[in-house]
Structure 1
Amino acid sequence: MPKQRFPTPSGRFVGASSSVARRAVMVAIILAVLAGVAGLVGYLTRSETSGPRPTSGSHSAPAAPRQTPHPRSQEAVAKPPHTNNPVTFAKAATKALWTYDTRHASRTEHLSGLQEWMTGEKQYRDWKSVSGQVPGKALWSQMHDNAQHATASVEEGHLPEAFKSALAEDPGAITQAYVYAVTVTGKQSLAWKHDGSGAEPRSVTLAVQCRPHHDCALSGVLPEVAP
């Protein structure tokens, strides 16, 4: 998946930088997904301050899958849908990730809105991979000065073939975390002052947690698209 890009009023795109260490960690996610469900669970249960670690043999009862840590402006980010379908949720989450309006929401408000989509289970929550989709403070300020905003349309969502194959081979592997990989495709349309505009097709693979009898929640964003 290409790095998140944000167009300037001149029409050129500015890439969001990331550290070598972060890229290495994020590459591990896609490798885990392609390796199967158990690998994805192993990645998501890693320590936040260390590399991947094995999951515990015993697992306590799950907490509520979503938390609302901070109040936010009503219009900053759309609210998560009430659904237990990972594809339906992933399509809605993708639209939320690709939609922003720097004219009416601060970066803090936007991030706070996105946090409402995240799972409340910390061991399966990769907030950095989600917040990394949002422009940094300096770029957000520049985008605000240029009245930049974006809308998104979602065309399709599906479980990657490698993920479905792994799930078919070992259906019980997902029952520890209930985290699904979902690939979504669509288009992001952008506009800024002086009638500037642009659009590009996009795709992303999300890690979505959908425990039985709970609404789905977002676990993270993968660095590559899984077909």
Structure 2
Amino acid sequence: MAARTMATTAAHKRTLMAQRSDARLAELIATRILPNYTSKTLLDIGCGDGIVSRYLPSQCEYTGLDITDACIYEQRHDNPKVRYVQTDQIPDLMRSEGPWDTVLLLDVIEHTRRFTPLFELALTRANQQVVVSLPNELFVLDRIRMLRGHELNAHSLDLLNQPEGFKHQFIVNIAKARRLLSEKAEAAGFALTEEVLRPLVSKRSIHQPILWGIRQLSSDQLWSMGSVFVFQRQG
């Protein structure tokens, strides 16, 4: 299901990209959002196994960076386009290499201690756009699951002995994040031009009418699993 236009305002366009819970967000972004933007060079921070590189045009030069102990997905050490480094090396590499047409921060900045500095650095290293995805941790089904005894994965006490890169440093409120990131972007000469919301597609078709009803009767703060923000350089 391709991204669908939801509304266009003077501020930014809002679209829908329905997603199953077991779908990989990076793959969806690579196939449904990035084709709308032309890039000859792309930096993917927090790239995991570098799945985005599989879907880019052959003429797009891809660079993937991730930290050595962030093994959410199997790391691809045989991929010359991907490097795994220590956390503090990523800002240094961003400053010493590039710039890039597009910088991706897909489900990354909520893992960082101060939330915005990596985004602010990306704005200085992107010629055209910075793409940020964030989970919506007010998502109603996650709240219901938590009340039934299933903790939020990235905030669970089960993560006590895991490396810091696994844990979210913040419980993300999308509305607050949108406002904060937009302020930082505007100060750097960028503007939020598109936000892609992610309604859930149930694995069982019988549940789809219920999810559709929730979307009609409530705020996207309740029904969207998260947002993908596209910030574009102005002028």
More strand by share: 2
Structure with the larger RCO, 1 or 2 (CA within 8 Å, 6+ apart): 1
Normalised by the length of structure 1, the TM-score is 0.23
